[in-house]
Structures are given as structure tokens and as C-alpha cells.
Amino acid sequence: MNDFVEKLNYLNRRQFLTKSSLGLGAAALSAFGNPSKLFSSTQYPGTKGILGKPHFAPKAKRVVYLFQSGGPSQFELFDYKPTLDKLHGEELPDSVRKGQRLTGMSTNQSTFPLVRSIYDFQQYGNNGAWVSELMPHTAKIVDELCFIRSMNTDAINHDPAITFFQTGSQLAGRPSIGSWLDYGLGTDNEDLPSFVVMVSKNGSGQALYARLWGNGFLSSRHQGVQFRAGEDPVLYLNPPPGLDDHDRGQIINHLKQLHELQYEALGDPEIHSRIAQYEMAYRMQMSVPEVTDVSDEPESIFELYGEDSRDPGTYAANCLMARRLLEKGVKFVQLYHQGWDQHVNLPEGIKKPAERTDQASAALVMDLKQRGLLDDTLVIWGGEFGRTNYSQGNLTPTNYGRDHHPRCFTLWMAGAGVKPGFSYGETDEFGYNITENPVHVHDFQATLMHILGIDHKRLTYKHQGRRYRLTDVHGHVVKEILA
Amino acid sequence: MRIFILSFITIGSLCLGNPASLAKEVSFNYDIRPIMSDTCFLCHGPDEGNREADLRFDIREIAIADRDGSAAIVPGDPEESLMIWMINQEDEEDRMPPKKHPRSLMEDEKELFRKWIEQGAKYEKHWSLIPPVAKEPVNVSNPNWIRNSIDKFVLRKLDKEGLSPSEEADRTTLIRRVTFDLTGLPPTLEEIDAFLADASVNAYEKLVDGLLSRIAYAERLTNEWMDVARFSDSHGYSHDFVRDMSPYRDWVIEAFHENMPFDQFVQWQIAGDLLPNATRTQKLATAFNRLHPQNSEGGIVNEEFKVEYAAERVQTLSAAFLGMTIECARCHDHKYDPITQENFYELFSFFNNIDDSGQISVETSDMPAPTLMLPTVDQTKNLAEMDKGIKAQEAEVERIYKNSRSGFTERKLTQGDAMDLSGEDALVAHFPLVSEDTSASIANDLNPSAIGRVIVDSRPLEFFQVNNKEGPELELVPYEGGIGVKVNGDDSLYFQGANFFRRATPFSVGIKAKIPESVNEGTLIHFNVAGILYNYKGWEVSLMDGHWDVRMAHNFPYNAIQLVSIDPVKTEVWQNVHLTYDGSSTAAGLTLYVDGVPVRMRVTRDRLYKNIVSNQERVKKNVGLKVGARWRSKGLPGALVDEVQAFDRKLTSLEVQHISGSEDQAYEDDQGYDFYLNRYHPAYRESLKLLVALRGERNALNETIQEVMVMDELPEPQQAYVLRRGSYAAPIKPVEPRTPDAILSFPENLPENRLGLAHWLTDPKNPLTARVTVNRYWQMIFGRGLVGTPEDFGNQGQLPTHPELLDWLARHFIDSGWDVKEMLKLMVSSASYKQNSKADNKLLEMDPENLLLARGPVKRQSAEMLRDNALTASGLLVRKVGGKSVYPYQPEGLWSLSSGTYTQGTGLDLYRRSLYTVWKRTAPPPTMKNFDAPNRSYCVVKRQHTASPLQALSLMNDPQFVEAARVLAEQVMLTRKGLNERLEIAYRLLTSRVPNEKEMDVLRSLLAELTASFIQKPENSDALLSVGESGYDEDLPKPILAAYTMVVSMIMNHDAAVVLR
């Protein structure tokens, strides 16, 4: 015990750790009940962001981004087009298409018949937002949502499009949004990663890639950490079987002693970084199971998020997990749900992802709200592009498909910084082109950063002789949607 | 922004003593240009598109030119210089650089500008573009310290800074450092002991020579090169299928092992295929240009990705060899360096001449073409034997052909005209298209159970288990010849049973068709799953640009046959179309007939060397014959079709004429004889069958041969263009292959192709290649390059800390014949390298990054070294060299994000050196990624050096390390007696050094704690010891083995094991 205190004093004297820091020692190790409290403030190098403080007062402290991978059809979900009801089956007029590029999947079709949504729409909420019957839960919360119906992107295929949305470039190699935020703002919780990623186990479809949450050319400590369902939520988080927490603590304690000896001999300050690195790893090992153990959630919460939320790894369970992480101060939680890529059999195919995501997405918004967290948390729902107003493949009375469409699609946000019960941007009556207030992917990214208090033009990183930023050389903050 | 400026100043001040001290002459290259580049060039630099006020500061003539009575720079007169005036404006709105610029000027920088103009505003060429000159320092303070020329440069700099070098590191540290640096592996205890005991003066030299001769050295250098070459085991985009390019990696190992001169190493990789009488190995080396990510995503545009790939090759070329960010000029002139957009596309045009397809096949086993087949020695022998057999059989066919005229004459005499020209003996499917047919059932005259049907969108039903059977009814159209079917261009007639088409198998197909005038592109009849999605694997008869287009492909365009008709296709008339094939895999073996007359065709491709059906059973089963439309391809909307027939031999022209309803010919001529042989001559028919069988066998063996992507130049270069904003769809003006004059003008005598480019790169006059290369090796050995930005030797890169040393090394490298081993030996033999790495507080504060080299290097081990160290120390490491990548331990489910499953290897595969670990770009091995291994999607010449808690978790908990700890623990328990000896040996094995008493205390203390703990909870030791596949000696006391295991694990995590000092 004394030894521990002495060690602490020694450290403080040497000022290698911050004043309030606590090393790991016998006393600490005997108190495994709540270790994160005990070791919470050891300064780990790199927990502070490069900006020190935001460029201006942030509206949001954290973000949860519910990425709907595959390209959800705006026509069957949020962008109601009565004209298509009338023109159903008629050829897409050249005056609308204007010779624009289609994907290689439908460009060779002999015909391009317009197709209406097979699902009904109704108006909801105070501002009468149109929502389809596929999204009954989302429909109920439209007064919380800020719809952008005029999203558009440069990319027309999944890989470049999703890479573009998440990194600002269609090509691999740039840092993802979460990495930029961690680089810029640092973390609010030193026991957990600041950028957490979860992929639904009950989605399937287009591929995802670790580079979507990769650090690109930023330091790899800014990479997103994937949380997975099951007993080892973070790769290699758990000690090997048979090694209990007490013994792990002993090892880290002794390792620290070795490192102190090494430091005495060599005087390299990097050695103290290593000590902090192991202590943070240890704290993560303690904190992650705590945050991922949902047994303390009341029944009403599971009911709110839906039955799936009891099944770890589902979209609904991940939404619930997202809320728990946000509560702990995780800055950026990114969910991915695969399964929105309905080239054929859209009427049937779209049901599944809608059913699996609708309730939990809405529940997350409302749960954050009831906890007061929605005031400083931004929620984002959206995919990488929209879908065509014409049928890909054969159009029958009950069946059709839709190809990728980058020129317009719908995304919604909720919570901190954005106007609730608001809709922005318009598409033409064919749902093909934008007629009013287009929002490009870079604009979306600029706005997202703005809400977090970052001037997107001023968060840069010099790499290969050039200052890079998330928005490349583009992007405008969409002031109109800001609360 | 502040942070960048500060770090720049730090480097600057260390390079130059003190740049802010204005007493001495201001250097354009070292003082002025870096500031200009960072603050002025964005708007007043090389990029024409972005230039403001028609002013540029990178060219003196323009900067000093008169502009309405004044000049931006008036040499000698700062007060008259507009520039000085502009940068000193009071009002932020007026001041340069403008507010929106990412960085502003600091006061001392403004002062530098003033001073420089005062001194005459002299310009210099950028340092890295001036060819290096070797100038060795003569006078240094301490000649005794000097081991070789490197040290003179280092010492001169230290002298200037008033510093002295550090003592030489102790021998244990030295052998560990140099063994890891040159082999990536730790020294064994025997090697350490031998070195410690070797009192000879050349002990170290012997050690180094020994290390350089090891294959482990070649593996280490290869591992470095794999980052540069962005080597991986998967395609990288979308589903990211795994493909095997290990022969290239193994060639690199061989090249380093044999110490291939570096210029040759470069030449082979850039242009080995273009060397005179290129060998297989030289061609293999060009795989370097093909390792970029490639996209199989359905729906992309080929040309877009072909452009992407060629641009990527330029990017890799510039990062790997030139240390320039030339890719910046893809969309606009370079903003900082003298590289125009035209320069970029001139380089691009060197790499734009292969017959690749932008969208690669989703057939997982297809290697994107162009490819090279790499048969093993045995396979080569077998192939040769088979070819001999085939040749002999072809001769036999020929012999019978020559010698059977009499039978023909005899038959004519005895049987007269009674010959069957219907081809019915060979007919295997016949769909007459009758009024009873529906979209669900199209009758087959020959086999009522093998009916045809319509498939919606031409997508094979079973293929995706998609239930989309709804579709339009078959549109039957009566005409003068009976009843035909009108196809809609989207939904094909599908004859799944007609599925016997193989490369070695002769066949014929026939169809009657009336093609509307409105279409000039689309497929009529085909045997593919899809078009580009499977790179046209199979065969087809289509229309392209109004002409007949016949293809037979493994992987179109490179591995394929293509014939295009000379005359346009007749439309609006019924015509009988037949395709016959003889099984020869050649264009000559394919004949297209219209109404019984062979169509005059131009052969545009004739290189089919692999199968025309999928290797996947699921795909193979579903492919079938299809008419009128193809999945995700253009069909022939409005075409009428009738009488679809398939035959299992090559019909003779006489038969085709007959079936086409033309007048039957008399038999006297060769046509008749040909028909007779094929139809009636048993020996001839037998000999053909045997030929088919022999070819089939050969083709089957051929499928098992390793295939790799390589470069293979098109006979006619493809015209390259400057592309507006880099877009494939926006060509602006044509360009020819050339290199940037700013670097080195392209010598007249070189060919304007990749071979010329390769010689240009390695031309002794090229100012960059040698500098960039030695800098990267310096970085490998010293932890940091002499230029800290090895990827950027341009205006925005860092300046060299020791410019003369860099130049001397570059020159020396060239003069030595680009001898890599010699260069590395020189570096590790220098006194600079051998210094102790310990720094006192003063030195740490003054030079935290060790830019001055007043101490030895400190480096955290790379991801690969960490794992290899654990495997070596435990004795688990398997020293097999090369071969396919292996699948060591990895948590389950990581690959499920994209495609494929990770099937963990067993036995020896678990313990290979880390450079052999399979690398899937979308889901790289997590522990390697945590320790800063790059993604391998693009060329990386410098790894990041980060520390994160995830690294600690990996090293503590990854089963690979836990198992190695257990095996090492077991070894010391079995071979050593007594706790102290065991702990000491374990510590030595992992860190190379003997632990001191205090460290031993810590080890003993942990061992005691853990032993007590495991004795209390014996089930814990059982669980812990079960980690990993290798077993252990169960006679050992388990709690004690478990305790030792975790002590060893702790040592693995110790700075002494992880950091090379």
C-alpha cells in the first residue's frame, strides 16, 4: 500500500503524468468494483484534440450516425411523388434524364418505365411530413426530424459512394468523419474509444470495409474501434481465458514497474507513454463490459427499441448500445445496417431493412430525448445514394426494382443543432432532379462539423505536401437547417 | 495551423543553425521557397487554373517583371517591392496571404523575405531537382570517431551545433539492433554469445556480412517493399475477393537475396515485359504495376476505372521512386511543384497501354488480365508432353484427311446423293418455337424434359434465389416461315439444358433471326452468365455498331477471341445465323455463317488460354444458352427469332448451307469431302474425338496453373489525353509519353514506352530516384529519413537534415552499381549508427526527434517484427520461405463485412513469418493494423508511429502472443533448472539482454503472485494453457506453467522487447 502511494508521489514529483493522475497499484487493483472511477484521469497522450477547443461554440457534443448501407429508396420511404402514381409504367422522359449517366446495371435496358411506390404515404406531425407505411415508428416522431430531401452525391456505385460519404473522397485512403473528429476534438471519455463503430448482424448486402472507419493518413489512434456482439466486444479486449482481472491487474502493475526501471535507465519519455497506454487498455477492459452489459436496462427500454434489441448485434441492440456509449461521452458512434440495395424485388426486399431499423431508429431519438441527451447529440439517418424513379428490370403489377441514383435522395437528422419538424430541399415531380436547395455530400459534412463547433475549412492535416480536410476543397454549411 | 509552422521552424533551425539569424545570406532553397510554397504558391504558383493576378512567385522572371510601373519583387529594393508592401498591410482584409488561406506569415518570415530581396532576390532550382554531387567533408573535429564517410557528414553537423556523438552502444544492444534492422528477427542467444565472445577487429563486419547473406534479410527488405508495392492478397474494392499474387512477392525475395542491382530491380518491375526477349521472371516483375485495387462492382464504367488504374500507377511511380506528389497534377497543374497537368497525363500515357478491363470479373477465381501463366517445372513438362500428344493427334487428323479421298469417291459411286446433310447426328437441342410455347415452357424437340423458358431480366433464377418469375408472356409472331418469337431485349429465352460448351469441345449453334433496323448493338445468342459482370466468359454472337461481333472469352478483352464482321449486319430480313467451332481455342476455329455463307470477319483478338465456363458449380449449372437479351447487357429489343439449334460437333459448310435452306451443293469439291469425313468417316470422327479428349485434358491441367497479373503492352498504344478534373469522360487534348522536364528531360535515344521510362528513372542523371531510395533505406535503418517526408521531395516536403550526406549517399549508390547490400552495410557500419541511443535531458530537449544524430536510433518494432520476435523467441517460427499467403490466428467474423470466410490455417501455417500473413484490404489482420501496418491499398513509403491502447490489448491478449508465451515458458521450464535461470533466459530470448537484479525482482514477484493465484484456481491454468493449437507437456505442473506463461507475456509487452534501442 505504502509502496503504491510512494510510487504515485514519485510520479507526481516527476510530473510525467498530470497532477490528478493515478498510477496502477496494489490498492487500485484490490478495488475492481469500479476501476474506471479509480483510474479515470490518467493522462493518455493523444486524448486531447489538435484544436484544443472548437472553433466556435458547438451545438452538439456527440454524434450518432445511423448509416443505411445500400442506398435506401427515397420513393418508398420519404419522398412522396404523386406524379409517379399517374405516370406509372410510362417511359422516363428524355427531358428529365437529360442524357445523364446511369450505372452499368440498368443502362443497357430496352425500356426505363417510371414506377410509383407500392407503399402508401400519409402526412404526419405538425408540418405534415410525408412518410410511407414502411416507417410507422419514424412517422410518429417526424416533429423531431429535420429532413433533407435534396441530398446528392458524385458517386454512382456503392464502394466509391460510401467511401465518399464517410471520408470525403471516393478513393480509399482518406480519414473517416469519426477520425477527423477524434483528431480535432479528442475524447470526452478516456476509458472508452471516442469513435465506435457497430455493424448490424441482421443486415446483409453490399460489402463494408474497415477503411470506412479508418484513420487514413491520420495517426492510427484515431481509427474507429469496432464493437461487436458477443463476449469480446472489442478485438482482444478480454484477457486470455483463465486470466482473471486480478491477475491481469497484477501483470500490468508489474509491467509498469519494469517500465519505470527502464525509464530510470534510459530516460526516454516515450516509456511513460507506454505506461499510460497499458493503463488505458486496462481501463477499457473494465469499462467496455460495463457499458456493453445491458442487463441493467429496464423492460420498458427493450420494448421501446423493439424485440430485436434483446438480441445483441442486431440493429436495434446496436441502437441501444449507441445510446449507452453516448451517455458515457463517446463522441462519434457510427452504426451500419446493410440491406437497402433493392435492384430487383424492391417491394418485398425493402420490407426487411425497414422493419429491422424503423422502430429502433425512432426509439433512439426518443430515448435520447427523454434523457435530455438529444439537446447535445446529433442523430443522422441516411445512405450513400438514392434510387431511380424508373424500374430496373421488369416492371409488373406487383414487382419492380430500382437502380442507384446519385442525383437526389433523402437523409434525416435530429437533435442538437438542427431544426426539428423541418424539411429542406425539393426534388422535381419525377423525383429525378433537385429543384431547390441541393445539399451535396460535402455540404452535409461541412454542416456536421459546424454543428460540432468545427470550421470544416480549418480542420486540416498536412500530408504529402498538402493540407487535407474532410471536405476536400468543397462544402458549404447548410445554415438553413441549423436551429 | 500554429503547430505546423512551429514544427517547420524546428526542422529548419536544426538544419541550418538558425535561419532567423539574418546576418548571413538568406538561402532561397532553404529559407525562402519553403515559406513561399506554403503561403504564396496556392494562388501564385505553378497551377495556371488557380492563379491570381497573373502573378507567380515560382519563376523569377515573372516575379520581378514590371507590372504597370512596379514589380512584385524588385531585387535589392524591398521597399519598392509590391510583395513586401502586400504582406505588411495593416488591414487583415488587404493583407497577403488572404484571410481564407490556411496559413499566415509570421513576423520573422516577413523579415526573411525583406532580407532576401535586399540581397538581390536570388532564385535557385529546387534542391531535389539538382542532380546530387558527392562532396565529402574534409575537416572534422574527431577523426578517430569516423568509421566511414557517413560519419564525416554527421560529425560536421554536430560540430556546428557544438555537440558530440554518443558512445558506441554495448554489444548486446548492437547485435539486437542490427539483426532486427537487417533481418527483422532477433538474434539467437548463441549468436549473441558468439558476438560477445568475438574479440577480432572485424567481428561486427563479419556479423553484418552474415546477416546480409541470410534469406531473412531478403524477407525483411521484401516486407518493406510490400508497403511500397501495395502488395496484398485481395482486389481491394467492394467484395474484395482474395487472389494470389505471391509469385511476385517471392520474386522480390529472390531479387533482394541475390542483391539484384536496384536499377535493374526497378527496370524489371516497371517494364520487364518490354526487355528484349523478356524472360518469364522479367514479365512476372511487372506485376508491380498491377497490384493496385481493382473493382468488380456491377455497374461501374470500365473506362472510369481503367483511367483510375493507370493514374494509380503514376501515383505509385511518383511516390515510390520520385518522391513527388505528381498525382496532385491529375486534376490541375501542381500547386507547389513544377509539374503540369500535361506532365501527369504524359506519364499516364506510359501506363495506359494494356488490354485490361476496368471492371474486373466477379468470377472469384479470375485473375484480372493481362496475366502470365506460371506452370511449375512438372506442369511445364506435362504440358509439353500433352502438347506433343495434341500435335501428334492433329497430324493424325491431317493424315486421315489427306488419305481418305478414295473412300469419298467410293461412297459417291455407291450411294449417290443419299447423304444426310441435316446435322441431325450432332443435334443435341432444338427449339423450333411453336404456338404452344409459353414463357414458362419452350419445347425442345430432342428432349422433352430439357425445355426452355423466358427469364426475366435475363438473370438466372436459381442464381440469386430470387423469386421473380413474373414476366411478360412470350410474344409469338407468325410469319411466312412459321411462328417466331419477338424478344424484348431484356428478358432472354433461356435454354439451361444446352450447357455443354467447353473450350476443347467443337460445337455449332444455329438461329433464325430478323433484326430490326432500330438496333445496332446487343446480343443475339450467347452462352455467358452476363456481359462485363463476368468479363464475357463464354461465347456470343452479337451486334456491335451494326456489325457482327463474335466472342469467345475466358476473361474479355485480354484472354479472349473476338471477330468482327467487315460488312454491316442486314436488318429487317430473316436470316439463318450459324456459329461453328472446332475446339482449337483459336479465332481460325470459329466460323460465322449467315444464310449458309461464311461472313467475312476481321480478327481483333486471338488469345484464349483458359476455360470459357466458370469454375463454380453454382454458376456453371445456370449458365445455359440464351437468346435475345443478356443480364445487365444490351439485348435486341424487337428482334424476331426462330429455330434455335445446338450441335455437338462443328458442322461443315455444306451442312450449314443445307440447314440454312440454301440450294444443296454437289459433292465433288472439298466441301463435300469435308462433310463426308465429318459425317461418315469413322476413323476421322474417332480421331477428332481423341483430339477433343487430349485438348480437354490439357485444358484441365492448364486450369490448375498459377496465374498472375502482369503488364503486356498493346501492339498499338492507346491515345492518352489530358482529362479535365481527372475525369475519364472529359478528354481535353491528346498527349504523348514524356517525362517532366523539370525532373529530367526524356533522353532522345530512349523508346517512348515503359522501358524508356524505366531507363529514365534509373538514369544516373535523374536527380530523384537514387536520393529517394537511399533516403528510404536510411529511414529503415535510422528510423527517420534524412528527408522526413520520404514521399515528398517537393516544395512542400521537408528539407533534408543532412543535404550533402544525402547527395553523397545517392551518388555512392549509383556509382556502386545500385548495390543495396553495400549501401545498407555502409549505413549499419557507420559510427553514427552504432551510437548508444540514450539521450540526456539536454539533448532530448534540443533534439527530441534525433535529427542531428547525436545518438543512436530508437524504433518501436514494426507489427511484423513484434510477432516474429515472439515466434522466434518461443521457437515456434517456421522458416519456410515464400509460397501462398497463410492464415494465422484471427478472431472470427472479420471477413464477413465484405466477402469470403477466413479459414484459419493449421499446423505450420500458424507460425510463418508475418510477411506471409494473408492480407485482405478491406479487413486487414487487426493486430498488424493496430501496430501501424498500412492498408496496402496504395503506395506507402513511411509507416505511422503511433501508440494506442489497442496495441496493448493486442500484445497482451492476441492468442498468437499468448500461445508463444506459453511455448516459451514451457521451453524454459523443460530445459532450464531453477527459477532464476528460467526467468533470465526467457527475458534474454525476448529482449536479447540479461535482466538486472531489480528487473529480476519484478519477474520473481509476478511469478510468485501468479503461481499462488493459479494454484488457488487450477481451472484457470487449464483454460490459459489451452490457448493456441500447439500442445504442451502435460507433465509440467500446470499452475506453474501458467504463471511462467504470463510472466513471459509481460516481458513480451515490455519496452525492452518492443522497442529497439
Decide if B851 contacts B14 (C-beta within 8 A).
yes
Q: Does residue B520 belong to the interface with chain A, where contact is any CB pair within 8 Å?
A: no
Distance from CA of A448 to the nearest CA of B (A): 20
Does the pLDDT value for residue B163 go beyond 50? yes
Does the pLDDT value for residue B581 go beyond 70? yes
Of B949, B1056, B1058, the CB nearest to A281: B949
pLDDT digits (tens, 9 = 90+) for B465-487: 444 556 788 999 999 989 999 99
CA distance B769 to B121: 30
Cβ distance A267 to B839 less than 8 Å, yes or no, reads yes
For B682, half-sphere exposure in the C-beta direction (CA atoms, 13 angstrom radius) is 0
Residue A263 confidence class, pLDDT cut points 50, 70, 90:
very high
pLDDT digits (tens, 9 = 90+) for B55-103: 888 888 888 888 877 888 898 888 888 888 888 888 888 888 888 777 7
Q: Which residue has the higher pLDDT, B845 or B831?
A: B831
Q: What is the pLDDT of residue B666?
A: 63
pLDDT digits (tens, 9 = 90+) for A310-367: 999 999 999 999 999 999 999 999 999 999 999 988 999 999 999 999 999 999 999 9
Cβ distance A108 to B325 less than 8 Å, yes or no, reads no
pLDDT digits (tens, 9 = 90+) for B728-777: 989 999 999 999 999 999 999 999 999 999 999 999 999 999 999 999 99
Q: What is the pLDDT of residue B961?
A: 98
Query: Exposure pattern of A388-418 as b/e (b: 16+ CB <10 Å)?
Result: bbbbbbbbeeebbbbbbbbbbbbbbbbbbbb
Q: Does residue A219 belong to the interface with chain B, where contact is any CB pair within 8 Å?
A: yes
Cβ distance A159 to B295 less than 8 Å, yes or no, reads yes
- Backbone torsions φ then ψ of B410, nearest 5 degrees: -60, -45
Beta strand segments in B794-899, E: 859-860
Of B3, B898, B1002, the CB nearest to A208: B898
CA distance A213 to A311: 24
Cβ distance A284 to B949 less than 8 Å, yes or no, reads yes
User: Which chain A residue has its CA at the smallest distance from B299's CA?
Assistant: A104
Provide the chain B residues 299-328 that lie in CB contact (below 8 A) with chain A. 299-302, 308, 319, 325, 328
Distance from CA of B325 to the nearest CA of A (A): 7
Q: Does residue B884 belong to the interface with chain A, where contact is any CB pair within 8 Å?
A: no
In chain B, the largest separation of any two C-alpha atoms, in whole Å, equals 115
Residues 6+ apart with CB under 8 A from B746: B738, B739, B752, B756, B760
Q: Which of B725, B309, B305, B2 is nearest to A474 (CA)?
A: B725
- Backbone torsions φ then ψ of B492, nearest 5 degrees: -90, 155
Cβ distance A393 to B1046 less than 8 Å, yes or no, reads no
- Backbone torsions φ then ψ of A149, nearest 5 degrees: -95, 0
**ipTM attached to this prediction:** 0.88
Cβ distance A242 to B948 less than 8 Å, yes or no, reads no
Q: Does residue A40 belong to the interface with chain B, where contact is any CB pair within 8 Å?
A: no
pLDDT digits (tens, 9 = 90+) for B615-644: 888 888 888 999 999 998 999 999 999 999
Q: Does residue A26 belong to the interface with chain B, where contact is any CB pair within 8 Å?
A: no
Mean pLDDT computed over B860-872: 97
Q: What is the pLDDT of residue B563?
A: 98
Cβ distance A246 to B632 less than 8 Å, yes or no, reads no
Decide if A185 contacts A148 (C-beta within 8 A).
no
Q: Which residue has the higher pLDDT, B878 or B465?
A: B878
Q: What is the pLDDT of residue B813?
A: 98
CA distance A427 to B867: 55
Q: Which residues of A touch B996 (CB under 8 A)?
A: 261
Cβ distance A242 to B470 less than 8 Å, yes or no, reads no
Decide if A329 contacts A189 (C-beta within 8 A).
yes
Q: What is the pLDDT of residue A13?
A: 33
Report DSSP state, residue A437: -
Beta-sheet pairing, B590-594 with B574-581: antiparallel
Of B897, B1021, B1024, the CB nearest to A207: B897
Question: What is the pTM for the complete model shown?
Answer: 0.90
Q: What percent of chain B has pLDDT over 70?
A: 96
Decide if B623 contacts B528 (C-beta within 8 A).
yes
Residue A209 confidence class, pLDDT cut points 50, 70, 90:
confident
Q: Which residue has the higher pLDDT, B140 or B754?
A: B754
Q: What is the pLDDT of residue A232?
A: 82
Mean pLDDT computed over B208-231: 98
Cβ distance B325 to A465 less than 8 Å, yes or no, reads yes
Mean pLDDT computed over B456-467: 66
User: Which chain A residue has its CA at the smallest distance from B487's CA?
Assistant: A110
Distance from CA of A109 to the nearest CA of B (A): 6
Report DSSP state, residue B170: P
Residue B665 confidence class, pLDDT cut points 50, 70, 90:
low
Q: Does residue A270 belong to the interface with chain B, where contact is any CB pair within 8 Å?
A: yes
Cβ distance A110 to B635 less than 8 Å, yes or no, reads yes
Q: Does residue B491 belong to the interface with chain A, where contact is any CB pair within 8 Å?
A: yes
Q: Does residue B532 belong to the interface with chain A, where contact is any CB pair within 8 Å?
A: yes
Residue A446 confidence class, pLDDT cut points 50, 70, 90:
very high
**Which three-class secondary structure state does DSSP give residue B551?**
strand
Q: Does residue B516 belong to the interface with chain A, where contact is any CB pair within 8 Å?
A: no
Q: What is the pLDDT of residue A362?
A: 97
Q: Which residues of B touch A199 (CB under 8 A)?
A: 897
**Which three-class secondary structure state does DSSP give residue B329?**
helix
Q: Does residue B635 belong to the interface with chain A, where contact is any CB pair within 8 Å?
A: yes
Q: Does residue B892 belong to the interface with chain A, where contact is any CB pair within 8 Å?
A: no
Q: Does residue A472 belong to the interface with chain B, where contact is any CB pair within 8 Å?
A: no
Distance from CA of A264 to the nearest CA of B (A): 11
Q: Burial level of B683, CB count in 10 A (0-12/13-18/19+)? A: middle
Cβ distance B1013 to A210 less than 8 Å, yes or no, reads no
Mutate to test the interface with B, among A39, A232, A258 (most CBs of B within 10 A): A258
Mutate to test the interface with A, among B50, B166, B300 (most CBs of A within 10 A): B300
CA distance B82 to B67: 10
pLDDT digits (tens, 9 = 90+) for A396-411: 888 899 999 999 999 9
Q: Count the Cβ atoms, other than its own, within 10 Å of residue A50.
A: 15
How many beta-carbon pairs below 8 A join chains A and B? Answer: 287
Mutate to test the interface with B, among A44, A50, A102, A108 (most CBs of B within 10 A): A108
For B134, half-sphere exposure in the C-beta direction (CA atoms, 13 angstrom radius) is 14
